[in-house]
Amino acid sequence: MPDSGRPASQEPDVGDVAVSVADVLAAQARLRKYLSPTPLHYAERFGVWLKLENLQRTGSYKVRGA
């Protein structure tokens, strides 16, 4: 690739970050008051389960706002 004159972006090394079960449970406890439970729906035609996150108050599957 040609040099654009900009520094190359570096991806974070996620191998150095350990997420424990306790971390996940703590995040769940913090977010629970903001999120509603959403149903699972079996799409028989495709043979897959769909988690209907679009039914959140935001109407979106991602809540983090990024």
Q: What is the pLDDT of residues 3-53, one digit of tens each?
A: 555 566 666 666 677 889 999 999 989 988 888 888 999 999 999 999 898
Closest CA to 35 of 58, 15, 9, 18: 58
Which pLDDT value is given to residue 10?
67
Q: How far apart are CA 26 and CA 28, in angstroms?
A: 5
Q: How far apart are CA 58 and CA 66, in angstroms?
A: 13
Q: pTM score > 0.75 for this model?
A: no
